[in-house]
């Protein structure tokens, strides 16, 4: 069974060095980016090569839609989910129908390539404060985010893909970007419970994964949520009774720097309750984390393997289906 480190690949092909690295049992996941994608044929070849080396590895991507869609050419161009929020204000029934269809379409196209996970949906609220969240959020109101995300998750499940809610317990209030800064949210826990936490609370049983924010909620804990036993254990595991896998956000982001070196970040995230840690865009950092895990082994985690995607149609079979064609048609008026 695979280990707790998810890393990335540098290019369009799997090099011999990459293949050797993936043989390390401490590596349990690979996340793909736009630099790893050229066209559907190339992606199929890359996935086949990864699977030939490590058939058990979890393959993931960020394919939310809008400005966060890694695979474009040959895939359906997904609008930012905020268009569903805008539609929800006018026609809730139609918005919920489309959310389910688009969640299915996004997941079904990825499953046709044996990609296990898209880290979606975003459950943050849009307060019109955070540029990094913005229209990645469905809406500003918890009730609307809950309804639309629930429909999106149902569509993903129909395509054989588990959903991952992010960024627990809510990233929408802070103005700083955790990719380049260390955001601090000074609101009380009661304020968070009455707003940002609501979608996470209500959807916890439907989510296979959860990704905490690299945000310090200073009135609650001095550590960012992804390194906080209070947020991950007391709140998420005990109070919300979340049974799925907890993924760290990328430990190479500036919001994780408060936890120290890369190996220290990984150890603190795992100690706090993360099941898998992501280290992206810095191979030297990933190697540092790998070496630390080899010195201090962690038990294999069944929660991660439970997220492997279910058997799915091929791309040709998918494109010949009425549902794919109807879902594509429903998206056409909103496509970027």
Domain boundaries, the chain: 5-334
Residues sharing a CB contact under 8 Å with residue 269, sequence separation 6 or more, in sequence order: 226, 227, 248, 251, 256, 259, 277
Residue-averaged pLDDT of the chain: 94
Tell me the three state secondary structure of residue 19.
helix
pLDDT at 336 over 80: no
Q: Among 20, 86, 89, 179, which one carries the catalytic annotation?
A: 179
pLDDT at 229 over 90: yes
C-alpha dihedral (103, 67, 325, 105), degrees to nearest 10: -20
Which of the listed CATH numbers 3.40.50.1970, 3.40.50.300, 2.40.50.140, 3.20.20.300 matches domain 5-334?
A: 3.20.20.300
Using pLDDT thresholds of 50, 70 and 90, give the confidence band for residue 1: low
pLDDT at 256 over 90: no
Name the DSSP class of 170.
Answer: -
Using pLDDT thresholds of 50, 70 and 90, give the confidence band for residue 194: very high
- pLDDT for residue 190: 97
pLDDT digits (tens, 9 = 90+) for 128-137: 988 889 999 9
pLDDT digits (tens, 9 = 90+) for 79-129: 999 999 999 999 999 999 999 999 999 999 999 999 999 999 999 999 998
Q: How far apart are CA 284 and CA 287, in angstroms?
A: 5
Going through the chain in order, the beta strands assigned E by DSSP cover 5-8, 27-32, 58-61, 63-65, 68-69, 117-118, 164-168, 184-185, 209-212, 216-217, 245-246, 277-279
The alpha-helical segments, DSSP class H, found in 62-131 are 82-90, 92-111
Q: Among 8, 196, 249, 275, which one carries the catalytic annotation?
A: 249
- Annotation says 167 is catalytic: no
- pLDDT for residue 147: 98
- pLDDT for residue 244: 97
- Annotation says 249 is catalytic: yes
pLDDT digits (tens, 9 = 90+) for 277-320: 999 999 999 999 999 999 988 777 889 989 998 889 999 999 99
Name which of 59, 172, 157 is nearest 99 in CA terms: 157
pLDDT digits (tens, 9 = 90+) for 151-182: 999 999 999 999 999 999 999 999 877 676 78
- pLDDT for residue 180: 67
pTM: 0.96
Q: What is the pLDDT averaged over residues 194-206?
A: 98
Q: How far apart are CA 187 and CA 177, in angstroms?
A: 17
Angle 142-158/82-90 helices, nearest 10 degrees? 120
Name the DSSP class of 160.
Answer: T
Pairing of strands 5-8, 277-279: parallel
């Amino acid at each position: 069974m695979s280990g707790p480190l998810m890393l990335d690949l540098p290019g369009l092909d799997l090099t011999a060095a990459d293949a050797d690295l993936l043989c390390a049992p401490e590596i349990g996941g690979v996340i793909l980016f736009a630099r790893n994608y050229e066209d559907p044929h190339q992606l199929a070849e890359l996935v086949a090569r990864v699977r030939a080396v490590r058939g058990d590895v979890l393959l993931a991507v960020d394919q939310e839609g809008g400005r966060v869609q890694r695979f474009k050419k040959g895939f359906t161009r997904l609008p930012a989910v905020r268009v569903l929020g805008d539609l929800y204000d006018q026609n809730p029934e139609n918005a919920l129908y489309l959310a389910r269809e688009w969640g299915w379409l996004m997941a079904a196209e990825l499953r046709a390539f044996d990609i296990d996970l898209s880290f979606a949906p975003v459950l943050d609220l849009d307060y019109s404060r955070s540029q990094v969240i913005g229209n990645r959020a469905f809406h500003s109101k918890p009730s609307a985010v809950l309804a639309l995300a629930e429909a999106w998750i149902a569509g993903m499940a129909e395509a054989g893909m588990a959903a991952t809610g992010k960024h627990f317990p809510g990233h929408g209030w802070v103005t700083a970007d955790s990719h380049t800064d260390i955001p601090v949210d000074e609101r009380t826990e009661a304020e968070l419970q009455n707003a940002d936490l609501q979608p996470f609370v209500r959807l916890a049983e439907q989510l296979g994964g959860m990704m905490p924010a690299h945000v310090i909620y200073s009135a609650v804990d001095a550590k960012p949520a992804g390194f906080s036993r209070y947020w991950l254990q007391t709140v998420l595991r005990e109070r919300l009774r979340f049974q799925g896998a907890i993924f760290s956000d990328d430990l190479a982001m500036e919001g994780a720097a408060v936890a120290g070196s890369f190996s220290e970040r990984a150890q603190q995230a795992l100690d706090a309750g993360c099941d898998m840690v992501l280290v992206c865009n810095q191979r030297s950092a990933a190697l540092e984390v790998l070496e630390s895990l080899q010195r201090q082994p962690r038990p294999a985690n069944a929660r991660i393997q439970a997220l492997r995607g279910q058997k799915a149609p091929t791309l040709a079979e998918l494109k010949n289906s009425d549902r794919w064609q109807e879902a594509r048609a429903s998206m056409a008026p909103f496509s970027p």
